[in-house]
Amino acid sequence: MIAIVNVGPHDDPDKLGVRTYEVRINSDVVCTFRHRRADGLGRCLLEASKAVERQRWAEAERILDIANPAVRGRESASVPCTGVVGSLNQKGEI
Tell me the mean pLDDT in the region 32-45: 96
How many CA atoms lie less than 13 Å away from 6 in the CB half-sphere? 15
**Is the Cα dihedral 83, 86, 87, 89 positive or negative?**
negative
Contact partners, residue 83, CB within 8 Å, separation at least 6: none
pLDDT, position 68: 84
Q: How far apart are CA 16 and CA 3, in angstroms?
A: 20
Distance CA 10, CA 44 (A): 17
Mean pLDDT, rounded, for 12-34: 95
Q: What is the pLDDT of residue 71?
A: 63
pLDDT in tens, 46-72: 999 999 999 999 999 999 888 887 765
pTM for the whole structure: 0.66
